[in-house]
Structure 1
Amino acid sequence: MTKSELWFTELQNENLTIGLRINKILHSEQTEYQTMDVVETEQYGTLLVLDGCVMTTDKDEFVYHEMMAHVALHTHPNPKSVLIVGGGDGGVIREAIKHPSVERAVLAEIDGRVVEVSKQYFPNIASGLSDPRVDVQITDGIKYVENHPGEFDVIFIDSTDPIGPAVGLFAKQFYESVSRALKDDGLFVAQTESPFINQDLIQKVQGDVRDLFPITELYLAYVPTYPTGMWSFTMGSKKYHPLRDQQPIRVTDTKYYTEQVHKAAFALPRFVEELIQK
């Protein structure tokens, strides 16, 4: 059988691309906020693309979603109320509600079409969205955070790349709102791109979060379809430290996250240590 010669290529920056062979295009539309495509790839299964950028795939999504959710939720001793800003595919929600202490999980996603298309084409990733503990709010996440002070134990900033509607999710003013939306012992995690090609962004976020939170830490995971594969997350915490206060393992049905991986994620290569110390 002859393989398709149709390829998806993401221009990850002006000097770097990733290319994936496409078997077929499943969905394509222009939403109110962005272009959205769903394609079936040979290597990574079904792929969600927003504004030309890889968001998630069937084959490697578990790395990002598990490491976004479980590091924070195994740092806080009793997370009951959590908020996911962005993340309309539902992957972080799915992982968060695996924790028995979580009573309420709010998803604040600006583009409702991402939620609906994810339910259709990524049913495994979106499986948690129908859970009775989940409250899906189709709204501007920045405004939602501003309007809900003191409500959440943990907040996740599951943003797209810092372009278009996601730019404001990397601003210091937004992190100030996040701090106000957290309870007195709350913490948050944001995805902060690749240490190889987004050094300026990582340094800015680290500086802004350090100004606002007594505990600021960066950790890493490895997502093959994201630029360079090495991906960073920044945690800001009012009280709990992800290593000193790491909780006993509560969730075992994971494919990437383990108690040992939690610890190892904070063991940074020297060039990353130097990057965040500047």
Structure 2
Amino acid sequence: MEVWFTEDQTKHLRIGCRVREVLFSGQSPFQKVAVLDTVEFGRMLTLDNVIQTNIKDEFVYHEMITHVGLNTHPNPKKVLVIGGGDGGAVREIVKHKGIEKVVHVEIDQMVIDVAKKFFPELSSGFEDPRVEILVDDGIKHVKENKGVYDMIIVDSTDPVGPAVGLFGEEFYRSVFDALTEDGLFVAQTESPFFNSSLITQVTTTISGIYPLNRLFWAVVPTYPGGYWTFTMGSKKHDPLTVELNQGKIAALKTKWYSPEVHRSAFVLQPFVKELLPHK
């Protein structure tokens, strides 16, 4: 008998993966959590039947949501990660030797526990002594910590359920206040093919709060459309003009991110440029 996992990526689009085995299935206070051993992508984490990450393509997303910002800021020492309970973002951050503290705020303990058990490749950074894990609400955390972080990464799920508040103006203003005077933040901001109105909304909001607002992109095969965007809000440092330390980046041992990719990720196609606010 064939077993397939199917995700409704939009009301009119589905993606299906053949499953060897269901490794875990549980209901947390926030969402349904499952780990599947798929034929095409290996171990896969899903939340409420939506693909979050998998062993085959995870490195693209995690390298881009972290290293672009970390190499834009000249000396990031304290970093906050909101969401991303799988640990992939934390794993990438701790590759940077100059980082002194990583605070990881994840609302769902079950996601952290599942990552530690089934995704050691992603969750390895949790063991770094510089990492502090807080099971808490990220929105509340940024409100309570002003002027603390050099960089904040919003590694959220889609804008439904517990993640809705992570895409609003009040939250982005709280993130601004939680950053140091030259801090910056990066958030995942969905697909320009299927979430164009969200990208317009988010970039318009951020451009009204932060002196610099940049959209960049990467290819993540299991996310809707494969083309995925990230948005940076920065108080001072511009990822387009920063001088990249080639030796530092080479030492990171990445699979996707490089100095050339850093620059090219900000080259937007005309249809994507049309989604951005024009000042």
The TM-score bracket by the shorter chain reads: over 0.9
Q: Deviations over 1:128-155 (max 9, x none)?
A: 0010000000000100111010000000
CA distance in 2, matches of 1:246, 1:189: 19
> What is the match of residue 29 of structure 1?
26
Amino acid at match of 2:34: D
1:87 partnered with 2:78: no
> What is the match of residue 213 of structure 1?
210
Structure 1 gaps of 5+ residues are none
Q: Secondary structure at the match of 1:117?
A: helix
Q: Secondary structure at the match of 1:125?
A: helix
1:172 partnered with 2:161: no
> What is the match of residue 41 of structure 2?
44
> What is the match of residue 129 of structure 1?
126
Q: Deviations over 1:75-122 (max 9, x none)?
A: 000000000000111100000111111000000000011011000000
> What is the match of residue 249 of structure 2?
251
Q: Secondary structure at the match of 2:120?
A: coil
Amino acid at match of 1:50: L
Q: Deviations over 1:151-183 (max 9, x none)?
A: 000000000000000000001000000000000
Of 217, 235, 240, the residue aligned with 1:238 is 235
- Identical positions, percent: 51
Of 144, 147, 158, the residue aligned with 1:161 is 158
Q: CA deviation at 1:246?
A: 4.0
Q: CA deviation at 1:277?
A: 3.6
CA distance in 1, matches of 2:14, 2:26: 23
Q: Secondary structure at the match of 2:230?
A: strand
Q: Secondary structure at the match of 2:239?
A: coil
Q: Deviations over 1:18-48 (max 9, x none)?
A: 1100001000000011000000000000000
Q: Deviations over 1:214-258 (max 9, x none)?
A: 100000000000000000000000000001124313233000000
Q: Which moved more, 1:154-163 or 1:250-259?
A: 250-259
CA distance in 2, matches of 1:251, 1:28: 38
> What is the match of residue 273 of structure 1?
273
Moved over 3 A (4+): none
Q: Secondary structure at the match of 1:266?
A: coil
Contact residue 162 and residue 170 of structure 1 kept, 8 A:
yes
Q: Secondary structure at the match of 1:106?
A: strand
> What is the match of residue 193 of structure 2?
196
Amino acid at match of 2:267: A
Q: Report the RMSD for the aligned CA atoms in angstroms.
A: 0.8
CA distance in 2, matches of 1:245, 1:262: 10
Of 19, 30, 42, the residue aligned with 2:16 is 19
Paired residue total:
275
Structure 2 gaps of 5+ residues are none
Q: Secondary structure at the match of 1:113?
A: helix
Q: Secondary structure at the match of 1:124?
A: helix
